[in-house]
Amino acid sequence: MGAVYSYLFGESPFDASWPAYEEKMRAEGLSNAAIAAFKYNFKMLTSGANLMIPGESIQPVESLPDYASLTTEYWLVDPVHLRTTGGLGTGMGLEKAKSLLDLKEGRNFLDFIALQAADGFPS
């Protein structure tokens, strides 16, 4: 749709609409990271690209184990060590590093990583 709109009207829906959205977000005090994340998604939406996942490409899970039947040994076969790597999360609209996000009991990802290193699993 974006390409057709641009051809017919000379300006893309994104270019025509974005300044008003940006002005409103800045007036509301949104962070640059949040604005950048919204801008990216809005540009994708107005680009005319097919953003749908074809139904035929989605397959149901064939079977799952019964959670109540899983033993400690099951969980120890492939233990998971949680890491948050990559960028700071600004593309997700975050104001701080992902590793500093609060998870539970006043702990963040860094706390869980330290616990995993010390104990093998977070408590």
Q: What is the pLDDT of residues 43-55, one digit of tens each?
A: 998 888 888 888 8
pLDDT-wise least confident of 1-10, 15-24, 29-38, 58-67? 1-10
Residue 22's pLDDT band, with cuts at 50, 70 and 90, is very high
Domain definitions of the chain by residue range? 1-51, 71-123
Helix (H) or strand (E) holding 63: none
In contact, 108 and 102? CB cutoff 8 Å: yes
d(CA 43, CA 35): 12
Mean pLDDT calculated for residue range 1-22: 76
Query: Would you say the C-alpha torsion 97, 101, 107, 109 has a positive or negative sign?
Result: negative
Helix (H) or strand (E) holding 102: strand 102-104
Is the pLDDT at 114 greater than 50, yes or no? yes
d(CA 90, CA 92): 5
Structure confidence at residue 78 (pLDDT): 75
